[in-house]
A and B are shown apart, each in its own frame.
Chain A
Amino acid sequence: MTAYLLRRFVSLSLSLVAASLVIFLVMEVVPGDPASFMMGINADPEAVAALRLQMGLDEPLPLRYLGWVAGLLQGDFGVSYTYRVPVSELISERVMISLPLTLYALALSTLIAFPAGIIAAARRNSAADLSVMGATQLGVAIPNFWFAMILVLIFAVNLRWVSAGGFPGWDAGFVPALKALTLPAIALALPQASILARVMRSSLIDTLDEDFMRTARAKGLSRGQALWRHALRNALIPVLTIIGLQFSFLLAGGIIIENVFYLPGLGRLVFQAITQRDLIVVRSVVILLVFAVIVVTFLVDLAYAAADPRLRRHRR
């Protein structure tokens, strides 16, 4: 078990280093001179020179890379060129919205997908299965921004249960903040839940056809008991993979939903930074997302090992 985790940890750390190198090269070296790129074509040469100095572009490349990484390790992401504030502040504000939103959406998606997938698999070809399959087909097909707007129309405009957008901040209290995140979380969760339910269903159906399920039935377990005790854990591995991928996707991929609901999240930050050519913010957000993906991958690996003892085995 420890050997397995250690192996995963080493390989993930190496991928983090590799990712940081790629990001550094793409952002700092490929555009030529980052400072003039950021200032645009008509920039004042003196301003460009000042920016070069501020970004430390006069130093040799390896030193710049090491300096950047050393800064990252201490939580120093540099100062945003457009906002004139430390990037770490910008990001932490945004993460306080994006991370809860992601977790919220992921929780909703799992809560919807698991029962739906299990029922559909257990009663294959029944009316319940057909409706789950139909609903998830729709859920995958409908663009989530359109669905978000419908949600706003119904729950904010007509019923007036929640506001149509914006975020009051966590200072306003837990309930109002959560309320503001509810519609976006639903809009984000719906397509993810549809995908997850389908994966759950097909994985469970495959498991139900396994020989050991017949053994379980021959021991006297009812269909339901056999499903809960023997099929579910075996069916979980592909589902965990998808949940891991969805986390990473939701964390950064909420740009459109954040725009629909006027939420100042990470997605909007990186979008604005790109349009304003604020490379310092862009590279910081990108490295943060890579880090998040790697951490999630590690957690998924842990979950694999918990679900399947074959991965924990000591190699002989």
Chain B
Amino acid sequence: MSALSISNLRLDIHGHPVLHDIDLTLEPGKVLGVVGESGSGKSMTALSVMQLLPRGSNWSGEILVGGVSLSGKDEAALCQMRGRDVGMIFQEPMTALNPVRTIGDQVAETVRVHTGASRREALGVAREMLDRVGLPESRFPLDRYPHDLSGGQRQRVVIAQAIALRPKVLIADEPTTALDVTTQAQILDLLRELVREEDMGLMLITHDLAVVAGMADTIAILRKGEVVESGPTREVFREMRHPYTRALFSASAHVPDRGRKPEPSAVPVLSVSDVVRDYPQPRRNLFVRRPPFRAVDKVGFTISHGENVGLVGESGCGKSTLARAILALDALQGGEIRLGGQLVSSAGEGPHPELRARMQVVFQDPYGSFNPRHRVRRLVTEPFHLIKSPPTGAELDRRIDRALTEVGLSPGDASKYIHEFSGGQRQRIAIARALIIEPALIVLDEAVSALDVSIRAQILDLLAELSDRLDLSYLFISHDLSVVRAITDRVLVMKDGRIVEQGETESVFRNPQHPYTRELVAATPSLEAALAAPAT
């Protein structure tokens, strides 16, 4: 009997169709990968199984959990089903736990709600489950609060809650998207082990083909609420019958064309030497000053004209602090930063913001980095505040037209508001905003991390083309090694505030020298490696 079987599932929300005739089956002890881009309906499929659909939802079809149909179950029966027969884990571990209750309490709650066990018994089960997911008592007593835990540890707590009653089905909705690669690898290992040992069926929802390829026995590819292709993972990837599967596959492995190799220039665009950034730490004692926290420790590198340099490392390694220092947003405690030979800031001298006109930044979130009340015209001309005599009149219009055309938008878009654009288009506008002032350097801080693979491929193409044509240099900051590998000439690997390895991107990835780089490369899921591995 299947752990989960979905047939002819249709869903509309406020009359708007979201899912059309979804058919999926999940066997015990197996992993079903559900892949799709945003809006494909993969999360709604999961929420249909949990029966936690948003208001105004109306579904039809058949959902069987362990052979039992969900149709006609009342809310009380559904509450019994959730957590006992089906467990679910979510994308964002930082917010998935209640901040004011202990982890033991929260895991025990699953047990108490369903079994009527006493508090003591339930806490006993919670202890067992936390041990099971790799949070031993010595370091993670039951009375810890979520804020003491890292993202990966919190995700383990969420998993412990979901599996506390050994459900038949575990649904994981993008469980590792918000995590670093090494943490991602650990969480995926844990899930794989749980599936094998507890004989659970795992429905793994993700946008990342490499993750599914390494995890799933069967796979379903969703697009606009429909399953376009499904079957055993290897077969689907080998045959790729549907054009969308092929498109998705090629977008994931997309490497933009770089026209030429940049030559090292006499005066580098950016030179960073021995840069130190300290943060004061709060005093523990009123009378004793604590030593400052060193976020960036004697970092040095250069970027030549037209060169794309990647900066990789896990969250908290100092990537963003370094980026802020380069953008002259913070003062340095040691070393100096020069842009085209001119001093941006040094330990003795505060940052010189006037040089900011020659460098621009594009951030990760295409939704949060624009003022929704301004038109695109005003948004993209914002950097002109940085120069003394900004263009006016016809010249201004010409610059706006050119910036928008260069990123693949039309001049007419200048009079629109930001909500009229999709995520990918917004990221294009962010790039136009950076380009309009004709900078020498653009810092791209996780600039494509929030985008779907097909959009991401387009933006990477755009960035590569702009760099070649305008001789632009990039500092490309990302935790996603495959993207960095695709677009950069050189890469810097950062750990605990230091650069532990740097060199030509291909040679660093192919032949990593530092143990940490090796660890990172090994943890990165690889599509080809997963498909090349012998069948198990």
Q: Which residues of A contact B (CB under 8 A)?
A: 3, 210-212, 214-222, 225, 229-230, 233-234, 307-310, 313, 315
Contact = CB atoms under 8 A, between A and B. Distances in A.
B53 to A, nearest CB: 11
B109 A221 contact: yes
A212 B96 contact: yes
Contacts of A233: 100-101
Contacts of B83: 218-220
B442 interface: no
Given A212-B95, A214-B90, A220-B82, A307 B110 contact: no
B107 to A, nearest CB: 9
Interface residues of B, number: 33
B162 A313 contact: no
Contacts of B535: none
Nearest to A212: B98
Contacts of A217: 50, 52, 82
B95 A210 contact: yes
A192 B508 CA distance: 65
A220 B110 CA distance: 7
B171 to A, nearest CB: 9
A308 B98 contact: no
Given A220-B79, A221-B79, A222-B79, A234 B92 contact: no
Contacts of B75: 222
Contact of A218 (B76, B87, B92, B148): B87
A52 to B, nearest CB: 43
Nearest to A229: B109
Contacts of B282: 315
Contacts of A221: 79, 109, 113
Interface in B84-101: 84, 87-88, 90, 92, 95-101
Contacts of A212: 95-99
Contacts of B162: 218-219
B99 A234 contact: yes
Contact of A309 (B50, B79, B99, B114): B99
B488 interface: no
Contacts of B80: 220
Contacts of B81: 220
Nearest first, the 8 closest Cβ-Cβ pairs linking A and B are A220-B83, A211-B95, A219-B83, A218-B88, A220-B82, A212-B98, A219-B110, A309-B145
Contacts of A214: 52, 90, 96
Contacts of B50: 217-218
B284 interface: yes
A234 B81 CA distance: 27
Nearest to A308: B100
B145 A219 contact: no
Nearest to B158: A215
B161 interface: yes
A220 B52 CA distance: 10
A218 B164 CA distance: 12
B147 interface: yes
B96 A309 contact: no
A230 B113 CA distance: 14
Nearest to A230: B98
Q: Is the interface of B mostly helix, strand, loop or mixed?
A: mixed
B52 A310 contact: no
A24 B300 CA distance: 58
A209 to B, nearest CB: 11
A219 B92 contact: no
B99 A215 contact: no
Nearest to A313: B147
Contacts of A310: 99-100, 145, 147
A221 B161 CA distance: 12
B95 A220 contact: no
Nearest to B84: A220
Nearest to B157: A215
Contacts of A313: 145, 147-148
A214 B52 CA distance: 8
A211 B88 CA distance: 13
B113 A219 contact: yes
A214 B46 CA distance: 13
Contacts of B84: 220
Contacts of A215: 90, 96-98, 158, 161
A211 B96 contact: yes
A192 B31 CA distance: 56
Q: B81, B92, B145 — which one has the most chain A CB atoms within 10 A of its CB?
A: B145
Interface in B204-258: none
Given A211-B92, A220-B84, A309 B100 contact: yes
Contacts of A229: 109
Contact of A220 (B90, B113, B148, B284): B113
A310 B145 CA distance: 8
22 contacts: A3-B284, A211-B92, A211-B95, A214-B52, A215-B90, A215-B158, A216-B109, A217-B82, A218-B50, A219-B161, A220-B80, A220-B81, A220-B110, A222-B75, A222-B76, A234-B98, A307-B100, A309-B100, A310-B99, A313-B145, A315-B282, A315-B284
Contacts of A315: 282, 284
Nearest to B282: A315
Contacts of A220: 79-84, 110, 113-114
Nearest to B101: A230
A97 B81 CA distance: 56
Contacts of A218: 50, 52, 82-83, 87-88, 90, 162
Nearest to A213: B98
A259 to B, nearest CB: 43
A94 B327 CA distance: 62
A315 B293 CA distance: 14
A211 B158 CA distance: 12
Interface string B484-520: 0000000000000000000000000000000000000
B410 to A, nearest CB: 37
Contacts of B100: 233-234, 307-310
A111 to B, nearest CB: 23
